Amino acid sequence: MAQAGFVMGFVHRRRRGAELFLLVLALAVGIGAYAAVGVGVEGEVPPDIVGYGAGLTALAIAAHVVVRIVAPYADPVLLPVVTALNGLGLAVIHRLDLVYADNPLKPHGLPHKQLTWMTLGVVLFVVTLVLLRDHRVLTRFTYTSGLAAIVLLLLPLVPGIGDTINGAKIWISVGPFSFQPGEVAKVLLVVAFAGYLVLHRDALALAGRRVAGLDLPRGRDLGPILVMWLVSLGILVFQRDLGSSLLFFGLFLVMLYVATERPGWLVVGGLLFLGGAAVSYQFLTHVQNRVNIWLDPMKYFDQTPGSGQLVESLFGMAWGGLIGRGFGGGSPERVPFAESDFIIGAIGEELGLTGVIAVILCYGLIVERALRAALICRDGFGKLMATGLAAVFALQVFVVIGGVTRLIPLTGLTTPFLSYGGSSLIANWVIAALLLRISDQARRPVPDLSSSEDDDHADEQATQIVKLGSAP
Amino acid sequence: MNKPIRTISIFCLLLFVALMINATWLQYWKADSYDKDGRNRRVIEAAYSRERGAILVAGKPVAESEPSDDQYDFLRTYPEPFKYSHVTGYFSFYDQTGIERSQNDVLSGDDDVLFVNKLVDLLSNKSGKGGNVQLTLDRDAQDAAYAALGELPVDPESGVVQASVVAIEPSTGRILAMASLPTFDPNKLASHDFNSVKTDYDRLQADPNEPLLNRAIQTTLPPGSTFKLVTAAAAIESGKYDADSEVPGGTTYQLPQTSGSSGEIDNEGRSCGTDKIPFSQAMENSCNTTFAQLGVELGGGALQDMAEKFGFNDDHYLDDIGPQATSKFPQDPTDPEAGQSAIGQFEVRASPLQMAMVAAGIANQGMVMKPYIVDSIQSPELETLRQTEPEEYNQAISAETADQVTQLMVDTVNNGTASPGAIAGIQVAGKTGTAQSGLPDVPPYAWFVSFAPAQDPEVAVAVVIQKAGIERGEIAGGTYGGPIAKAVMEAVIK
């Protein structure tokens, strides 16, 4: 085994120092952005910059120290990128909050709440890393998490706790808290899919017939994909949530393809998606509205439901141009929900194309590091989970940024780590923790089994223990 | 499982590349078209908030941006509202008119002439101030014009006066005065209190007296007897007549191809002889019978040519401020139509600016100069960046003819109907006009055009009183228009 490790190349270094250095840069982004908001909007560096900076630094350093102790081989890039995005998001939300202050119709106290959510997110990040020493433990919860995900997805439909916000029934309200269960469900679904697929991948992969050069799956194996398709359609029809529907189905397809290595599944899934999209376009007015607005947003500018929000955001991004108006120089408050779904519009307006590209590259980096962890991971479950988390992240970023920039029809989803919203932020910190855990496992040197041979001389009579470590 | 993971990696790469290309497309290539969309309030607000340049008259601002400490950084203010309103126009959050509109690029600082300033501002990270626009208006002339209009008696029914004055420097085409009543307060429209702006704008729009209308350039009315200057010019230019000739006269004249009173032209009791009378008498007494006969004799085509040389039927000769109403002379009129057109009736329509150009052309040896109101464009530091040079519009008539018509106009002031325009010690050339509105309830329009001094003209003026508290019988004879023109001319000559 050890020899295999040498043959395969090298032992990964821990790179915790690199992580710390990158974290300092990430904190500079977050705290610098906060200072820039103060200078741009109020004309002075915010007086609480020291306290704020210290708080942000404390959170980041705490996360770093925990990673250093419990996941020393984890990927060194993920935590800094996530911290930078979260810090930038906080600054933009703070900037919006400053203009919202004069407007009784807008929400107030957002940055404080978001900082609380971030703290909670980091706590859960730490808890996940500490409790979950090996991601394979999660295979035990395959069906539990699948069931929990479905229950969470159904909760918003339950009278009394379900809440319709902005036309989508994706919220639940318990007391003063409102909560988007879909965000948590997506993590649970990745776990459930990975556990299910790693067990059934052979059946799904090997049986089938070949049609026109493609290996198509057997009819009886279509069950899971059809169930997932129906669940996605159900979310679309009953919760009117185009984004989540697309996200869950896309996630499932990607994981199915990776597990089975059969592009045939992509064809089947793609056809199901197109069919579902065509039918829902025919029968669901909210889908039609979204598509019409996408095709010609200017036409629906003054209508309800109309494209005012999208067009204002497009105007803002165009106004921002290459380098942006600078914090305080634009009017992102013209866009309803600039702090959540449309935060990329606010960034485009005030930080320009430069800021938008930087944010997209940060997301790209997260996805790339996650897929890299999947590639070097030694167990199928870990590979699937990392791929799933990467895919859900990439799809969500694509759907929401693509929607806001009119690449695809707009669907409501949060922008990970940037958008205001507790459920999303916490779920994404947990995703970050899971990715760190998987990469830690993947990069950790293979246990040196040859050492037992050295011990042979010390105790030749000892019962020989044959290690049955699974081959990579 | 690594092969599909690599495929998925490439797929994700494509997704992110698509996002970046699309963002670049949106924020770089498409940005301009989004910025130009009329519904893009950001661009409008930025323009609204910016420190615009000033509109200057003789170096003093009539419109300027002052620092404001509300939601916008600057407030557009008009130190002399009402008097200059129709020239400056207004700069509201919703739109602009007048010079504020036509010179918007300069005032906002976007004009290429301000390129160096923009560059300096960019490098020094200042928000750019716009350029200034210096107008050709003469403060004394404008004061006189506005004051004289204000002395007109108010129409008892509507409670307003509808009248306007425009004065031109004949040798250059510089507009020296431009005033119109009723007027409005642009400060109210430039206010940052958008509700009151909306209320005031709606009220101005709904007002039947159209206070937003710049009557000096945007209203055309039948010019009546003032058009006889054009007819006289055509008659003399034809070579058949000069200022000392005998012209046809008579108390009434039946237009060709007509019968009955509708085709009969009379002189409302003024003395116009029986058969032949001196040209000067015909002009002094504004003899309709004479000029109708001249019009028929010269023919519609000749009249149309002459009118067009002065600017009729040209929809655009004033670049600086708009929109500009087109003064009309009917196309190929028949003989009876030519007879009526020759006395400024039928379908002849002229703006006050057009009639001022007729007077100015005659004053300037027959050369009509292109009118303009923007004297120069200045940088925020008051350094002149672009100076408007006078431009010839048309040699409408020969210098010889111009002298002859001037002679007739001088006689008209000295001995005839235009005597209210006379100035002691200065020879004035002028002509009155009373144009039938052609509408049963609408009284005639009173015109007065003149220039002075007759031999070395410094100013040409046109006055029109569209509606005021004047008895029908008193409208004729320049009783009210004459003193207004006189005041403006005096202000220029001093």
Q: Does the pLDDT of residue A457 top 70, yes or no?
A: no
Q: Which of residues 26-85 of B touch A (CB under 8 A)?
A: 26-28, 30-35, 37, 39-43, 45
Residue from B168, B174, B166, B309 nearest B229 by CA: B309
Query: In one letter, which amino acid is B245?
Result: S
* A398 reaches B (C-beta below 8 A): yes
* Nearby residues of A181 by Cβ (< 8 Å), 6 or more positions away: A152, A153, A155, A156, A170, A172, A423
Which pLDDT does position A6 carry in this prediction? 45
Q: Hey, are the CB atoms on B22 and A406 less than 8 Å from each other?
A: yes
Q: What is the CATH number of domain B222-373+390-493?
A: 3.40.710.10
Identity of the residue in A315, A331, A375 whose CB atom sits nearest the CB atom of B2: A375
In whole angstroms, what is the distance from residue B494 CA to residue B482 CA?
A: 17
How high is the pLDDT of residue A9?
58
Nearest to B28 among A261, A353, A383 (CB): A353
Average pLDDT over residues B358-376: 94
Instruction: Please write the tens of the pLDDT for every residue from B215-228.
Output: 999 999 999 899 99
For residues B397, B398, B404, B410, the Cα torsion angle rounded to the nearest 10 degrees is 60
Whole-number pLDDT of residue B487: 93
Is the per-residue pLDDT at B363 higher than 80?
yes
How many domains does chain A contain in total? 1
pLDDT tier at A174, thresholds 50, 70, 90: low
A31: pLDDT strictly greater than 50: yes
Pairing label, strands B132-135, B55-57: parallel
Looking at residue A464, what is its pLDDT? 54
| Separation of first and last alpha carbons in chain A | 9
Q: How far is CA A308 from CA A51, B19, B48, B480, in A?
A: 38, 22, 22, 56
- Between A196-210, A242-256, A440-454, B171-185, the lowest mean confidence (pLDDT) is in A440-454
- For B64, list phi and psi in degrees, rounded to 5: -155, 160
Does A317 reach chain B within 8 Å, measured CB to CB? yes
Residues near A392 by Cβ (< 8 Å), separated by ≥ 6?
Answer: A186, A190, A247, A251, A431
Confidence of residue A289 (pLDDT cuts 50, 70, 90): confident
Q: In which band, very low, low, confident or very high, does the pLDDT at A472 lie, cut at 50, 70 and 90?
A: very low
Average pLDDT of the segment spanning B113-133: 72
Which pLDDT value is given to residue A82? 97
Confidence at residue B210, expressed as pLDDT on a 0 to 100 scale = 92
| Contact yes or no for A111/A99 (Cβ under 8 A) | no
As a whole number of angstroms, the longest Cα–Cα distance in chain A is 86
Among the partner-chain residues B4, B24, B45, the one whose CB lies closest to the CB of A258 is B4
Q: Which residues of B are catalytic?
A: 225
- Respond yes or no on whether ipTM tops 0.85: yes
Q: Per the domain annotation, does A257 fall within a domain?
A: no
Buried b (16+ CB within 10 A) or exposed e, B230-240: bbbbbbbbeee
Asked whether residue A1 carries a pLDDT value surpassing 50, the answer given is: no
Whether A412 shows a pLDDT value over 70: the answer reads: yes
Which residues of chain A lie closer than 8 angstroms to B27, CB-CB?
A: 317-318, 320-322, 348, 352-353, 356
**pLDDT confidence of A187, banded at 50, 70, 90?**
very high
Per the model's pLDDT, the better-predicted residue between A45 and B438 turns out to be: A45
pLDDT (average), residues A270-277: 87
Judged by a CB distance cut-off of 8 A, whether residue B331 touches chain A is: no
Of the two residues A342 and A265, the one the predictor is more confident about is: A342
Residue A269 has a pLDDT of: 84
Per DSSP, the three-state class of A123 is: helix
Looking up tokens 């970050």, which residue turns up?
A432
Residues of B in contact with A406 (CB under 8 A): 22, 26
- Residue A77 above 70 pLDDT? yes
- The full set of domain ranges for chain B reads 222-373+390-493
The dihedral through the CA atoms of B477, B480, B486, B492 has a sign that is negative
Q: In this predicted model, what pLDDT tens digit does every residue of A298-354 receive, in sequence order?
A: 888 877 778 888 999 999 999 998 988 889 888 888 888 888 889 999 999 999 999
Average pLDDT over residues B480-492: 92
Which residues of chain B does A246 touch, with a Cβ-Cβ cutoff of 8 Å?
A: none
Strand partners, B96: B91
Query: pLDDT-derived band of residue B71, with 50, 70 and 90 as boundaries?
Result: confident
Q: Do A360 and B20 touch (CB under 8 A)?
A: yes
Verify whether the Cβ–Cβ distance B16 to A315 is below 8 Å: no
* pLDDT per position as a tens digit, A346-368: 999 999 999 999 999 999 999 99
Return the minimum-mean-pLDDT range out of A84-93, A406-415, B358-367. Answer: A406-415
Select the more confidently predicted residue: A168 or B395.
B395
Q: What pLDDT, on a 0 to 100 scale, did the predictor assign at position A466? A: 55
Would residue A35 count as lying in a domain?
yes
pLDDT at A7: 45
Q: What is the pLDDT of residue B273?
A: 82
Taking an 8 Å cut-off on Cβ atoms, the answer to whether B27 and A320 are in contact is yes
Interface A-B, measured as beta-carbon pairs within 8 A, has a size of 128
DSSP state of B29: I
Name the pLDDT band for A3 (thresholds 50, 70, 90): very low
The verdict on a CB contact (< 8 Å) between A311 and B26 is no
A93 within some domain = yes
DSSP-derived letter for residue B96 is: B
pLDDT of residue A463: 54
Nearest to A383 among B5, B20, B26 (CB): B5
Tell me: pLDDT of A72 over 60: yes
**Closest listed residue to residue A126, CA positions, set A443, A430, A370, A441:** A430
Q: Flag whether residue A330 sits within 8 Å of chain B, measured between CB atoms.
A: yes
Q: How many CA atoms lie within 13 A of B412 on its CB side?
A: 34
- What is the predicted pLDDT for the residue at B443? 82
b/e burial code for range B383-410 (CB count within 10 A of at least 16 → b):
eebeebeeeebbebbeeebbbbbbbbbb
Please tell me which of the candidates B24, B39, B43 has its beta carbon nearest to residue A301. Answer: B39
Condensed to tens digits (0 to 9), the pLDDT of residues B250-265 reads 888 888 888 877 788 8
Q: Is residue A331 part of a domain?
A: yes
Name the residue facing A398 among B15, B30, B45 (closest C-beta): B15
CA atoms of A202 and A207, how far apart (whole Å): 8
SS (H, E, C) A21-79: HHHHHHHHHHHHHHHHHHHHHHCCCCCCHHHHHHHHHHHHHHHHHHHHHHCCCCCCCHH
Q: Over the Cα atoms of chain A, what is R_g?
A: 24
A78 touches chain B (CB under 8 A): no
Quick one: tokens of B295?
A: 């019009």
In whole numbers, what is the pLDDT of chain B averaged over residues? Answer: 89
d(CA B389, CA B398): 23
Residue B188 pLDDT grade (very low, low, confident, very high; cuts 50, 70, 90): very high
**Domain carrying residue A377:** 12-131+301-386+400-445
| Tens of pLDDT, residues A243-253 | 888 888 899 88
How many Cα atoms occupy the beta-carbon half-sphere of B330 within 13 Å? 19
| Residue-level pLDDT at A231 | 81
Q: Is the distance from CB of B478 to CB of B450 less than 8 angstroms?
A: no
Q: Measured between CB atoms, does A377 come within 8 Å of chain B?
A: no
Predicted confidence (pLDDT) per residue in B422-480, tens digit:
898 899 999 998 888 777 777 889 999 999 898 899 999 999 999 888 877 777 667 88
DSSP 8-class letter at A469: P
Q: Tell me, what's the pLDDT at B254?
A: 87
Percent of chain B surpassing pLDDT 90: 50
- Burial bucket for residue A80 (CB in 10 Å: 0-12, 13-18, 19+): buried
Residues 2-21 of chain B whose Cβ lies under 8 A from any Cβ of chain A: 2-9, 12-13, 15-16, 18-20
Tokens at B347, concatenated: 């379908």
Better pLDDT: A453 or B457: B457
Residue A284: its pLDDT value, please?
A: 85
- Identity of the residue numbered B433: G
Task: Show residues of chain A in contact with B4, CB under 8 Å.
Answer: 257-258, 261
pLDDT at A105 over 50: yes
Average pLDDT over residues B157-177: 93
- pLDDT tier, A8 (very low <50, low <70, confident <90, very high otherwise): low
Contact B422, B431 (CB under 8 A): no
The residue whose two tokens read 């109708």 is B292
Each residue of A232-242: pLDDT tens digit?
778 777 777 77
Question: For residue range B327-342, what is the model confidence (pLDDT) as tens digits?
Answer: 999 998 888 898 889 9
B12/A301 touch (CB, cutoff 8 Å), yes or no: no
| The model's pTM | 0.68
B20: chain A residues, CB-CB within 8 Å: 357, 360-361
A327 within 8 A of A95, measured Cβ to Cβ: yes
Q: Give the pLDDT band (50/70/90) at residue B127.
A: low
